[in-house]
Structure 1
Amino acid sequence: MNALAPAPGSQPASRVTVVVLTRNHVRQTVDTVARLIALPEHPRVIVADNGSTDSTIGLLASLFPQVRIVQGLRDLGMAGFNRAVALARTEYVACCDDSTWFAPGALARAAQLLDANPGVAVLNACVADADEREIHPACLMFAATSPGGDGLPGPALANFMAGACIFRVSVFRALGGYEERLSRGGAEELAALDVLSAGHSIVYCENALAHREPLYRWFTRTQQCTLARNSAWVAWMRLPARDALAATGRALAVFARQRSLGPAGFALLRGAFWTLRRRRVVPPHVVLLTRQVRRAQRHVRVGIPAMAEKYDRSGQRAW
């Protein structure tokens, strides 16, 4: 018998590791992990804890000894995924937060699609509420603004939801993970540009269903300013000057609407030197894709629910 083959009657090893990002949400985390380990794919589950001070770590260790816990000493935001993904021993990793879980069969379908499409590095799941009656505004926007997907297993994307995606582990590691300075928003935007620049594709996959409760959440004034600031920083790091100036203008408009033009504007300026040191303009085909999506967003925004203006674009809980 092949030593690598599963024993008769045993479950085959999962092709996907699921990483759950959490901080101080013990009830949601326990519920999410229980749902994940009950999946028919039997995925390996790693919990990336961002410095929880409640009973999250102890209770998870007691209830789910088979789950690996990567405990951080502080809140790293999205960068908390990095250490956990580094420990994955599968070809693919599915990332979610403590209020998001994948539907039965979704991970298997995602692995099959990635197997059949080696040029695709990231699949963005279709995120719906538990009853599947409402779709996350980000997914509606992705579907409505994609320029198409010739030769791809779904609509091509210029961005993805960091908390509802399936990644090729090799690509994630080659990127170096998420940038810690953008951990409060924008890290997935930078990662997406780097994925596309490396010649890979990002695809929206309706067949990879994920559930989320609550489906979306409103941002505070500070969080909206942070997202706008970080998006401008990403533009200066990767996009042509024309696009970077436009992103800066959008950020200033958000600061003004949130009555934080002075403090937020100063924070934006303070990061300018760091972003310019990291500047590496993406290839023309990536610029074209981002511009196509941006133009489409202006046309379809009126058809998307009003909360789409304030949804958590990363799919990640804003702590």
Structure 2
Amino acid sequence: MARTTVVIATRDRPVELARTLCRLRTDLPGTPVVVVDNASADPLEPWIAGQYPDVEAIRLESNRGAAGRTVGVRRARTEFVAFCDDDSTWDPGAAAVAERTFDAYPTLGLLAARTLVGEDQRPDAITPALATSPLPSMRPLPGPRVLGFLACSAIVRRHAYLGAGGFDPLLHFAGEERLLALDLAARGWDLCYLPELIARHHPSDIRPPSAWRRRREMRNDALTEWMRRPVGVALGSTARLVGRGLTDASARGAASDVLRLLPSALSRRRPLPAPVERDVRLLEKHPPGTPAEVSP
């Protein structure tokens, strides 16, 4: 019986979704797939039912962004869930690699894969940060312990993901991974980079403008600070964002968004446990690739 379900959140990219479903059928045969349609202009369910009757499709009446993935995770009935975007997929055998690793390391809540991008299959820009993570581990792990990942190339232990609340709908999309990583760690789960676990990303040409994404990432980073970090850290982060907004239109828009959403963020505020906050500060002090002296 299958132990891993693939969950894909999609919106208005049927061509990319068709390619991904075709690859999954070939590379992960027999793996259950759940597609969550974030209110696409043209509903995808009839097409999926006709072309891929073994794929479960769920249509949402509004675009929930990253939180749409949680709808798919709740529908899954397997121990583990592998996330795809509609323009990414997994190497053959990826599910088996993840399952063996989760079985061997019961404290693992999330595995971050090595992500290869584009036709030339170059490592994603996040790879150095994951591979050189300075975070210490008090227990054996199969790779570096991390506090970040790409949603399109992560596999989770289902009950760990749901216990942590999944992706927060307030952040919607862009940079949503950081808050979930912190929440998993706060609940005692390990997150680990596993380079032999490989996902492949073929970025769609249908993407939001880079200025929009940059504004959204800055907004979500500041909101995450308010939801989980000490007040002084959150104030400093927002003050710096406001300062950048004096000369940067994207930062100015992000600061305006933060002020508008701050009441909702404060209602979700749960400061991190001290060990997790120490890990965050360690990552801030030692950027990727720099040596870190870590006390046991």
| Amino acid corresponding to residue 174 of structure 2 in structure 1 | G
Q: Hey, what's the Cα distance between the residues in 2 that align with 1:230 and 1:296?
A: 22
Q: Deviations over 1:165-216 (max 9, x none)?
A: 1011101111232211111234322111111011111111111100010299
Q: Percent identity?
A: 30
| Equivalent residue number for residue 52 of structure 1 | 40
User: Distance between the aligned counterparts of 1:224 and 1:257, measured in 2?
Assistant: 15
**Which residue of the partner structure matches residue 124 of structure 2?**
136
1:182-261 aligned at under 5 Å gives the runs: 182-214=171-203, 220-252=210-242, 255-256=245-246, 258-260=248-250
Residue type of the alignment partner of 1:42? G
Specify the SS of the correspondent of 2:81: strand
**Deviation (angstroms), 1:55:** 6.0
1:122 alignment partner in structure 2? 110
The 3-state SS of whatever aligns with 1:221 is helix
Relative to structure 1, is the Cα distance of residues 288 and 19 closer, same or farther in structure 2, using a 3 angstrom cutoff?
same
- In the alignment of these two chains, the number of paired residues is 288
The amino acid of 1:100's aligned partner reads S
Task: Give the 5 Å matches for 1:88-107.
Answer: 88-107=76-95
Name the residue aligned to 1:176.
165
1:297 to partner: Cα distance: 2.3
How many angstroms apart in 1 are the aligned matches of 2:191 and 2:49? 35
**Alignment of 1:296 onto 2:286:** yes
Contact in 2 for aligned 1:29/1:56 (Cα 8 Å) = no
After TM superposition, give the deviation of residue 73 of structure 1 in Å. 1.3
Q: Which of 103, 106, 109 in structure 1 is aligned with 2:97?
A: 109
Contact preservation (8 Å) 2:3, 2:99:
yes
The answer as to 2:43 corresponding to 1:27 is no
1:271 to 227, 251, 261: 261
Between the aligned partners of 2:120 and 2:197, the Cα distance in structure 1 is: 13
Give CA deviations for 1:74-117 in whole Å, capped at 9, x if unaligned.
Answer: 21110110111101110000011000100001111011101111
- 2:8–2:85 Cα contact (<8 Å) kept: yes
The equivalent residue for 2:66 is 78
Is the contact made by 1:21 and 1:80 (CA closer than 8 Å) also made in structure 2? yes
Shift in CA distance, 250/102, structure 1 to aligned 2, threshold 3 Å:
farther
Alpha-carbon distance between aligned partners in 1 of 2:153 and 2:247, rounded to the nearest angstrom: 29
Q: One-letter code of the match for 2:203?
A: P
**Structure 1 gap ranges (5+):** 1-12, 301-319
How far did residue 299 of structure 1 move? Answer: 6.6
1:163 pairs, out of 145, 152, 155, with 152
Asked if structure 2 preserves the Cα contact closer than 8 Å seen for 1:93 and 1:167, the reply is: yes
1:30–1:253 distance in 2 versus 1, CA, 3 Å: farther
Deviations 1:93-144 (A, max 9, x none): 0011000100001111011101111101000111103656410101232223
Deviation at 1:274, TM superposition (A): 2.1
| Structure 1 residue 37: Cα displacement | 1.9
Structure 2 counterpart of 1:238, which letter?
R
Is 2:133–2:145's contact at 8 Å kept on the other side of the alignment?
A: no
For structure 2, which runs of at least 5 residues remain unmatched after alignment?
291-296
Structure 1 range deviating more: 286-295 or 114-123: 286-295
Contact 2:67 2:169 (8 Å CA) reproduced: yes
Counterparts of 1:40 and 1:260, CA distance in 2: 40
Alpha-carbon deviations, 1:268-297, whole Å to 9, x = none?
Answer: 112222222222211111111111222222
